């Protein structure tokens, strides 16, 4: 339901995303892991039609993000890393507004409002203004807004930020319950969080996809080496960074064609 094929994003001379390809199928919860500045948010923004790719193609629920952006947005629920809410609105009014923007009306809107209020456990704050709500509630309000139109593809950027440990556990169960019939991409820089929710892990660093593997396979590889999952992932990132550095050095060396000293 998410198809990313040879996608690159450049800002002038800077390459933020470099020829990345992967798929997320129906019923999958896939973790997207990388340090700050790895290119995660840039790639998510391209999936969500906020940014156009420089090269390559992205399809969401079968729709091309460049040629069919409105259809992509209808099929997609997106929670941004920095949860954008209208501070002065009542929570219920904000969710009703988002629902109407999404094309919901009448009984369908009322049904979806009731569903997200219960599913996201925010009934007790529906009558409050957004700015009166705690950080944890604000995050759940953002999730409710992303889900109100019942999207088939869900993209979550740091969704557990601000939740307490009990809320995090409940959120994991909630996501698992959502996964049948949907594709879910869960982005974070927290390995433990991603590993606890996801079935498969995408590892990105310096704009390049270094790994696309089931969590179980990564754990088995780590056990075979006598280390834990964190050490396995760090080795993948270090190896990828070292390879990129060596390639850049070779390209810039005086004896190479790129360096201008070759024949």
pLDDT tens-digit map of 203-245: 999 999 999 999 999 999 999 999 999 999 999 988 876 655 5
Count of Cβ atoms closer than 10 Å to residue 25 Cβ: 11
Q: Residue for token digits 């929670």? A: 79
Residue 261 above 60 pLDDT?
Answer: no
For 45-132, strand residue ranges (E) read: 55-60, 63-64, 76-79
> What is the average per-residue pLDDT within 122-127?
95
- The residue segments making up the domain with residue 238 are 2-243
Asked whether residue 74 is domain-assigned, the answer is: yes
**pLDDT, tens digit (0-9, with 9 covering 90-100), for 18-38:** 999 999 999 999 999 988 788
Residue 107 above 90 pLDDT?
Answer: yes
Percent of the chain with pLDDT over 70: 91
Asked whether residue 248 is domain-assigned, the answer is: no
Asked whether residue 130 is domain-assigned, the answer is: yes
**In Å, how far from its chain's centre is CA 206?**
16
Asked whether residue 257 is domain-assigned, the answer is: no
Of the candidates 250, 214, 248, 218, the residue with the CA atom closest to the CA atom of residue 231: 218
Asked whether residue 260 is domain-assigned, the answer is: no
Task: Give the number of domains in the chain.
Answer: 1
Which is more confidently placed, 207 or 255?
Answer: 207
Asked whether residue 17 is domain-assigned, the answer is: yes
Q: What end-to-end distance do the CA atoms of the chain give, in Å?
A: 47
- Global confidence as pTM: 0.83
**In Å, how far from its chain's centre is CA 128?**
29
Question: In the structure, what pLDDT confidence band is assigned to residue 158 with cuts at 50, 70 and 90?
Answer: confident
**pLDDT, tens digit (0-9, with 9 covering 90-100), for 60-94:** 999 999 999 999 999 999 988 777 899 999 999 99
Close Cβ partners of 222 (under 8 Å, ≥ 6 residues apart): 228, 229, 231, 232
């Amino acid at each position: 339901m998410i198809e990313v094929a040879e996608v690159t994003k450049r800002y002038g001379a800077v390459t933020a995303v470099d020829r990345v390809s992967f798929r997320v199928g129906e019923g999958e919860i896939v973790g997207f892991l990388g340090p700050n500045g790895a290119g995660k948010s840039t790639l998510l923004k391209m999936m969500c039609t906020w940014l156009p790719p420089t090269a390559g193609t992205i399809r969401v629920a079968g729709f091309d993000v460049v040629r069919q952006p409105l259809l992509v947005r209808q099929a997609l629920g997106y929670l941004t890393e920095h949860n954008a809410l209208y501070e002065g609105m009542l929570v219920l009014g904000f969710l009703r507004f988002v629902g109407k923007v999404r094309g919901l009306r009448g009984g369908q809107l009322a049904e979806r409002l009731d569903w997200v209020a219960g599913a996201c456990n925010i009934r007790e704050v529906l009558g409050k203004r957004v700015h009166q709500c705690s950080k944890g509630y604000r995050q759940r309000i953002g999730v409710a807004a992303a889900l109100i139109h019942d999207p088939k593809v869900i993209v979550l950027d740091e969704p557990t930020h601000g939740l307490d440990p009990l809320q995090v556990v409940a959120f994991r169960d909630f996501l698992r319950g959502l996964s049948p019939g949907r594709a879910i991409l869960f982005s974070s820089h927290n390995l433990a969080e991603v590993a606890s929710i996801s079935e498969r892990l995408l590892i990105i660093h310096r704009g390049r996809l270094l790994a696309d593997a089931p969590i179980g396979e990564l754990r088995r590889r780590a056990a075979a080496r006598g280390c834990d999952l964190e050490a396995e992932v760090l080795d993948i990132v270090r190896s990828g960074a070292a390879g990129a550095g060596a390639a850049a050095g070779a390209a810039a060396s005086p004896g190479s064609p790129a360096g201008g000293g070759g024949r």
